[in-house]
Structure 1
Amino acid sequence: MKKTLQQIADWLELDQEMDERLVTGVSINTRTLEEGDLFIPFRGEKTNGHKYVAQAFENGAVASLWQKDEPNPPQNVPLLFVEDPEKALQQMAVKYRGEHLATFIGITGSNGKTSTKDLLAGTLSPYFKVQKTEGNFNNQLGLPLTILSLDEDTQFAILEMGMDGYGQIEFLSKMAKPMFTVITNIGEAHMEALGSREGIAKAKFEIIQGLLPEGKLYYDGDEPLLQQLVAKEAHLNTKSFGTGPSNDLQVSWMETTKEGSVFCVKGMVEGEFFIPVLGQHQVKNTLAAILIAQQVGLTDEEIRNSLENVSLTNMRMQLVNGEHGTLFVNDAYNAAPTSMKAALEFMKTTTMRKDKWIVIGDMLELGQLEQQYHEDLAEEIDLQAIHHICLYGPRMKHLYEKLIAQVPAERLIWTEQDYEPIIESIRSQADEHSIILLKGSRGMALEHILKAFTKED
């Protein structure tokens, strides 16, 4: 973004005369602010960003917003006075989006948003200039910051959209006005706020609200709840992906290797592909990337070549070598029943190592059904294939009590809040024949276990 202060004031419909100094970005954090940024101070319950405006100018900010009812604005620095900095940030993003010529792509879903974003960006980036949501900037603050960070010559903007209640995805979709939207799946995350999987599906389906008239929705065609919602929107241009035969693009066969996943698809695209990523669920996420890449004009061979070199954000089925030759599958960024089952299925079927361990932590935000969801995992763990089961967190006690009569004590550990018993078990029993899955909700921070076996910070 390259806009003068006067252009920013015009975007915000301010009755202020500003000079022609150039704004080249926006920032809400003085620690990451870059020279030329416009600083956005927020007033929250715990802190007040206006306290850091002076620091922002010292760090190179060209100007700052200032909430009108905030006292003592600094003198002799360029300030844009607004009613609400958060709404001003969003208004700037809407204005910049309206001027930008990129093709915008919105991605939501209970699981797999970030992986699908990475897979799609990796597929398109060898042939186009692509920018994507960084980190977890996928909410009412993160998405406008992402939009305002787009270079003016970006051709594809891939935006992740998250939520924890109704109306939020609709708000983000209407801000982004995507040409293509993706719903990866419907799981159980945010059950506490939305009450049911039907409620979650309804909230995710809000992504069509900002879809351009000529746009298209790509969705998990194996999910009946999405099938029902799509059927009610006769005008909607859609394509489905999945494993079922009715999908527009389906996986007909797949195999996991030490390097990744080989799979065949049929339907709108035919043939064999490879991704250097583990897991059947990641293959399914790849289908959305293949469909969109085909839509924008890439050949099957171009798609095939770029997929061979994609990479995912850390802690998504990430292979990490540990001490004594152990191999970790770090999938510890987050977890819900759907993604947990997918990771357990991978461990059941993988032939990468013989000695299989699972280290799984609590699944959060599941509401009144959290005990049942944890107990139900007992049916997903293949006790013949999995040799060591390590459970972490207070909710995992429900699963422990389901397994204790079936699994010998030397193969089963539960600890409520101490990583050390799990670390010691791995250290004393795992070796070069062992593969160890780490999977849990973000709040469980299971990567602390991995750090005990690697030289990483």
Structure 2
Amino acid sequence: GDIAELTAIARPDYGLITNIGRAHLQGFGSLEGVRRTKGELYDHVRAAGGALFLHTDDDTLVAMAEGMDYVSYGTSPAATVQGRLSPQQDSPYLSFDLVDGMNGKRVTTRLVGDYNLPNALAAVAAGRFFDVPDEAIVGALASYKPGNNRSQWMETERGNSLIVDAYNANPVSMRAALDNFDTIRTDKTPVLILGDMNELGAESAAEHAALLRRIREGRSNRVLLCGPCLMAMEQDFPEGAMGFADHVALAHYLEEHPIHDSLILLKGSHGIHLENIIPLC
């Protein structure tokens, strides 16, 4: 009912849901609960006769939008705003080509992670709909530099390249971040500093176990894990991984064992407060 309450206040004419994933399950109970609650936005827009900005690569969102007016974005040629990832380059940043109406115009962002492509295309779709010129849209995407602990790239005084994605974490975003991390070309040592994924309710143990399995599949041989959910599974840690009860204990360790000349992924739920570790990276 939270989103229904907000739509009753704001009465939006348009709606955009970026995705539906396994987040906040403790409150919503299940993935279906997440879908139903986010769908309250679509319900309001449908009743108001409004329109959606719809990610047509997402079958769940497409099914939820049945019978509604929408502006589509995605990688399919059928999308109103179509984009595709640029060929692999020696850069950690998202780069993509707009392949409709701009003759393959390339957009290079300051966002880390190919998983941000749908977010960027959503911005293009909304901008165009509200008559923002294409060049202004592309310029805004290229110049935006995140400063909110999401998809940030930082070069630190210790010679580290640091990916800061510590504002939030859930099973979908964690896997996307790890998949992207494994594709980054670098001569630096890969290091994972990961925190708990909070608010997963009854699914927490299974999802954290899946995270540990995914870590074993990756390329990092130095892994630092933080938080009570992960520490409860310490016996199942990948070989060589170290665990810390909280960010304070982790900070003490990093003060005594500083990391140098490495590529670091820093990711966890906001409640684990890994942002406090940034000055030690």
Q: Give the deviation of 1:253 after TM superposition.
A: 2.1
The answer to whether the aligner puts 1:215 opposite 2:215 as a matched pair is: no
Aligned residues of 2:182 and 2:219 also touching (Cα < 8 A):
yes
Show the counterpart of 2:194. 360
Alignment of 1:313-352 (within 5 A): 313-352=147-186
Q: Give the deviation of 1:229 after TM superposition.
A: 1.4
Partner SS for 1:380: helix
Show the counterpart of 1:290. 124
Partner SS for 2:128: helix
Task: For residues 252-285 of structure 1, give each alpha carbon's deviation from its aligned partner in whole angstroms, at most 9, with x where no partner exists.
Answer: 2234654722112445766221111111122221
| Distance in 2 separating the partners of 1:230 and 1:302 | 29
| Distance in 2 separating the partners of 1:424 and 1:356 | 18
The answer to whether the aligner puts 1:430 opposite 2:259 as a matched pair is: yes
| Distance in 2 separating the partners of 1:270 and 1:216 | 27
| Distance in 1 separating the partners of 2:33 and 2:2 | 13
Partner SS for 1:189: coil
| Distance in 2 separating the partners of 1:327 and 1:427 | 20
| Distance in 1 separating the partners of 2:251 and 2:224 | 6
The answer to whether the aligner puts 1:228 opposite 2:56 as a matched pair is: no
The answer to whether the aligner puts 1:199 opposite 2:28 as a matched pair is: no
Show the counterpart of 1:238. 70
The one of 201, 208, 215 equivalent to 1:381 is: 215
Q: Give the deviation of 1:369 after TM superposition.
A: 0.8
| Distance in 2 separating the partners of 1:396 and 1:294 | 44
Aligned residues of 2:92 and 2:113 also touching (Cα < 8 A):
no
Partner SS for 1:288: helix
Letter in 1 for 2:144: V
The one of 167, 171, 175 equivalent to 2:5 is: 171
The answer to whether the aligner puts 1:442 opposite 2:270 as a matched pair is: yes
Percent identity over paired residues: 28
Show the counterpart of 1:13. none
Tell me how many residue pairs correspond in the alignment. Answer: 278
Q: Which has the larger radius of gyration?
A: 1
With the length of structure 1 as denominator, give the TM-score of the two structures: 0.55
Task: For residues 166-200 of structure 1, give each alpha carbon's deviation from its aligned partner in whole angstroms, at most 9, with x where no partner exists.
Answer: x2112212322223321010112221222221221
Show the counterpart of 2:17. 183
Letter in 1 for 2:84: S
Letter in 2 for 1:221: T
| Counterparts in 2 of 1:186 and 1:269: CA distance versus 1, 3 Å | farther
| Distance in 2 separating the partners of 1:292 and 1:189 | 25
Letter in 2 for 1:298: V
Which shows bigger deviation, 217-226 or 422-431? 422-431
| Counterparts in 2 of 1:282 and 1:199: CA distance versus 1, 3 Å | same
The answer to whether the aligner puts 1:417 opposite 2:246 as a matched pair is: yes
Task: For residues 388-421 of structure 1, give each alpha carbon's deviation from its aligned partner in whole angstroms, at most 9, with x where no partner exists.
Answer: 11110121136644443xx3x2xx1112235445
Q: Give the deviation of 1:326 after TM superposition.
A: 1.5
Aligned residues of 1:250 and 1:267 also touching (Cα < 8 A):
yes
| Counterparts in 2 of 1:382 and 1:276: CA distance versus 1, 3 Å | farther
| Distance in 2 separating the partners of 1:382 and 1:291 | 38
Any unmatched runs of 5+ in structure 2? none
Alignment of 1:395-410 (within 5 A): 395-397=229-231, 400-404=234-238, 407=239, 409=240
The one of 373, 390, 394 equivalent to 2:228 is: 394
| Distance in 2 separating the partners of 1:242 and 1:426 | 44
With the length of structure 2 as denominator, give the TM-score of the two structures: 0.86
Aligned residues of 2:247 and 2:277 also touching (Cα < 8 A):
no
| Counterparts in 2 of 1:246 and 1:373: CA distance versus 1, 3 Å | farther
| Distance in 2 separating the partners of 1:335 and 1:435 | 19
Any unmatched runs of 5+ in structure 1? 1-166
Partner SS for 1:349: coil
Aligned residues of 1:377 and 1:399 also touching (Cα < 8 A):
no
Partner SS for 2:65: helix
The answer to whether the aligner puts 1:309 opposite 2:143 as a matched pair is: yes
| Distance in 1 separating the partners of 2:136 and 2:63 | 34
| Counterparts in 2 of 1:415 and 1:217: CA distance versus 1, 3 Å | same
| Counterparts in 2 of 1:389 and 1:292: CA distance versus 1, 3 Å | same
Instruction: Report which of the two has the higher share of helix.
Output: 2
The one of 85, 93, 98 equivalent to 1:253 is: 85
